[in-house]
Structure 1
Amino acid sequence: KNPMILGPIVGVGGLAMLIPPSALAVVYASLAQISVGKVLIAGAIPGFMLAALYSFYVLGRSRLNLSIAPIYEVAHHSLSEKLTEFAKYVLPLGFIFFLVLGFIFLGIATPTEAASAGAIGAIILACCYKKFNLTILKKSLKGTLQVAVMAFMIIAASKTFSSILAFTGATMGLVSLVDNAAMSRLVILIAMMLILMILGTFMEQVSMMMITIPVYMPVIQGLGYDPIWFAILMLLNLEMAMSTPPFGILLYVMKGSAPADTTIGEICLAAVPFLICDLIVMIILIAFPSIVLFLPSLM
């Protein structure tokens, strides 16, 4: 039924922001001038927590109401067939993940070097599958150039904005204002999260990061919060904003790809349980920062 078709797609649509390798995490770390590798690794446990909570909800809801996810016949495959498919399609993907994330986590390579290793691994696999040719190489190089130029322009604009804030004294003024405010650190953090949530429903994520990170980072450092931990909270917040009714971007992407008779109201209702899952994970991460910081601390 529609709730169980639409909801998981909307919910999982933003999950890639957390689970590495996340392009948005790389952009965030570059803008905030913090370790790219640590931000990537820090998103792993929260991302899998979120995926597990989504799965738990889907299974529980399906058990309680069989009509929304009726039982159907599944084609039987032998163990040898399953192992063959696993070795053919899953292991190569795991190999690429290891070249990027494994190299970063084990300290074998820097994030830039690990990205190069991943690209080389992808080329090798493409050759093994006989899918590599000059046309694909040209297309890949063109796409890489477009993304790289866009990323550098974003970083340059953000650095300019940060410099203007610092030169005018706005950054120090904001930090002083927060320090003098008669509010606890937690209240200030919640207020910052709410602002991000509201902005995220109207604005594109990278644009919002360009505006907020130069303002937020001095405040976070002044409050004594860990910047890696805050990075994951902000990425999770951006994910929530993308699917928050009534203006979340993912809701309208889903509307455009869903059957014509699907209403935006149905999509919003289907997204609500997954937003609640996001909120639960965010509360857990705020209460227990060590969940986020465990893997980065091992690097």
Structure 2
Amino acid sequence: MEWFEALGLLIGSILVLMAIGMPVALAFLAANIIGAWFFMGGARGVTLMLNNGFGSLTNFALVPIPLFLLMGEIFFHTGLGKRMFNAIDKLLGRLPGRLSYVTVLGGTAFSTLSGSSMGSTALLGSLMVPEMTQRGYKKHMSIGPILGTGGLAIIIPPSALAVLLATLARIDVGALLIAGIVPGLILASFYIATIYVQTRIDPDAAPAYDVETLSVSAKFGLLFRDILPMLSVMVLIVIGMVAGLITPSEAAAFGALGVLILALVFRCLSWQALRKSVVGALRVTLMAYLIVFGSATFSQLLAFSGASSGLIRWATAFDLAPIAMLLVMFGVLLLLGMFMEQISMMLLTVPIFFPLATTLGFDPIWFGLIILLALEISFTTPPFGLLLFVMKGVAPRETTMRDIYGSAIPYMACSMLLVALLIAFPQIALWLPGL
């Protein structure tokens, strides 16, 4: 069997199973069993594949995933996130478009901790959009920042999705997490600049309204009581990783413990909140582990059938410049994002893209960061980006898809600009890990 026939059989069976409604992880597992039976010699091949797949789950690099998820769940269910949102809102005072800034600043912190762009978009959309609409904000000022926060959440540590990508691609987890810090700060500045320009061009887009005037001491009280304690958890674990004092697994453990201690200090930790947090983290962790199992076995089948080597030979035979091949892979991810969620896209593309990137001479950490940004941009790509429809489901009834498309485009442009900067100046991503 030719390599393209093997590749078509493996990917085609996955797509067919997904199309008939089978969950993504189970579709990959079923397709892998079919492929192992066909390419690896029947029942013995299936047994060998399953043993290799279980071996991939013993990877110590997977430890941060459940801990980062537990950290985000506690942050949400105990109300610590809401405290931080309210404090940022009060501190910004009469700043034009302040609720948009609140969405970017508070939403980024929440999205980063939660690790789920779709969940964060649904929560922020139902929480912030009605409030901003009531205050007279135009659609692009309320919807756009929410759609944009996912781009920050996926690259600024702690990011469970970055840990999962690094594990699937077999690259340094800590280096990929640290590589996202500087690009994340740049992207945040782009978002803030976008809001500022929009309010300057059209002051009526975010009308001013009376707010309670706080004394300087009250502002410092909010800052030190409701904001800095939450941010300190993220800052300390990032500094620990950058300084080489702690590993990503230890950082995740300290982060979860830090949020738990904060919940105790603020007296908002209850058995109900703790139970919901553990159940929520466990549910997503099990899905992530199934994804890792499926990806490991899928990669082995691609290699065993000759599909990986054949695809690399075919792609490099075009004699395209490495950057041109990078743009092709980027475009494939944008296309897939219209129909699939991020983890499914990673499962399908990582076993193919990373060996190709190695052949082209790309730095794996830099390439991983580009992939993360492509995954997030694809979620808001009109006309079928999944986050666009999530937003439609939680936005006020009169919101049209055209409103949502128009709101997403400026923030997509910011992410695209960051990708261009990373391609032109790779050291933006590689400088900090290189230390």
Give the alignment's TM-score, normalised by structure 2: 0.66
Equivalence for 2:26:
none
The alpha-carbon distance between structure 1 residues 293 and 143, as it changes in their structure 2 partners (threshold 3 A), is: same
Distance 1:145 1:65 in 2: 45
Kept in 2: contact 1:99–1:121 (CA 8 A): no
Work out whether 1:54 is the aligned partner of 2:195.
no
- Residues 189-268 of structure 1: matches in 2 within 5 Å? 189-268=326-405
Aligned-residue offset at 1:99: 4.2
How many corresponding residue pairs? 298
Work out whether 1:112 is the aligned partner of 2:263.
no
The DSSP-based 3-state class of the residue aligned with 1:130 is coil
The alpha-carbon distance between structure 1 residues 137 and 262, as it changes in their structure 2 partners (threshold 3 A), is: closer
Work out whether 1:76 is the aligned partner of 2:213.
yes
The DSSP-based 3-state class of the residue aligned with 2:158 is coil
Distance 2:403 2:279 in 1: 39
Distance 1:288 1:275 in 2: 20
Q: Tell me which amino acid in the other structure corresponds to 1:282.
A: V
Aligned-residue offset at 1:125: 1.4
Aligned-residue offset at 1:145: 2.4
Aligned-residue offset at 1:148: 2.3
The alpha-carbon distance between structure 1 residues 245 and 221, as it changes in their structure 2 partners (threshold 3 A), is: same
Q: Tell me which amino acid in the other structure corresponds to 2:375.
A: L
Distance 2:327 2:205 in 1: 36
Q: Which one of the candidate residues 212, 224, 230 is aligned to 1:93?
A: 230
Q: Which one of the candidate residues 141, 154, 168 is aligned to 1:17?
A: 154
The DSSP-based 3-state class of the residue aligned with 1:28 is helix
The alpha-carbon distance between structure 1 residues 145 and 5, as it changes in their structure 2 partners (threshold 3 A), is: closer
Report Cα offsets for 1:125-171 as digits up to 9, x if no partner.
Answer: 12211223444333333333223222211111000000001111221
- Residues 146-165 of structure 1: matches in 2 within 5 Å? 146-165=283-302
Aligned-residue offset at 1:194: 0.5
Equivalence for 2:261:
124
Q: Tell me which amino acid in the other structure corresponds to 2:212.
A: A
The alpha-carbon distance between structure 1 residues 130 and 228, as it changes in their structure 2 partners (threshold 3 A), is: same
Distance 1:9 1:137 in 2: 27
Work out whether 1:280 is the aligned partner of 2:417.
yes
Report Cα offsets for 1:176-198 as digits up to 9, x if no partner.
Answer: 22332221111111111001110
Q: Equivalent pairs: percent with the same residue?
A: 44
Q: Please list every run of 5 or more consecutive structure 1 residues that lacks an aligned counterpart in the other structure.
A: none
Distance 1:131 1:57 in 2: 36
Report Cα offsets for 1:86-111 as digits up to 9, x if no partner.
Answer: 11111211231134322222212211
Distance 2:290 2:361 in 1: 30
The alpha-carbon distance between structure 1 residues 132 and 64, as it changes in their structure 2 partners (threshold 3 A), is: closer
Q: Which has the higher contact order (CA 8 A, sep 6+)?
A: 1
The alpha-carbon distance between structure 1 residues 134 and 10, as it changes in their structure 2 partners (threshold 3 A), is: closer
Distance 1:142 1:261 in 2: 35
Distance 1:142 1:256 in 2: 25
Equivalence for 2:36:
none
Aligned-residue CA RMSD (Å): 1.5
Report Cα offsets for 1:53-94 as digits up to 9, x if no partner.
Answer: 111111112112222123333322111111111111112112
Q: Tell me which amino acid in the other structure corresponds to 2:165.
A: Y
Give the alignment's TM-score, normalised by structure 1: 0.95
The alpha-carbon distance between structure 1 residues 98 and 66, as it changes in their structure 2 partners (threshold 3 A), is: closer
The 10-residue stretch of structure 1 (70-79 or 266-275) with the greater mean CA deviation from structure 2 = 70-79
Distance 1:103 1:26 in 2: 17
Q: Runs ≥4 in structure 1, deviation > 4 angstroms?
A: none
The 10-residue stretch of structure 1 (130-139 or 165-174) with the greater mean CA deviation from structure 2 = 130-139
Distance 1:67 1:141 in 2: 44
Distance 2:151 2:428 in 1: 20
Equivalence for 2:31:
none
Kept in 1: contact 2:151–2:415 (CA 8 A): no
The 10-residue stretch of structure 1 (90-99 or 55-64) with the greater mean CA deviation from structure 2 = 90-99
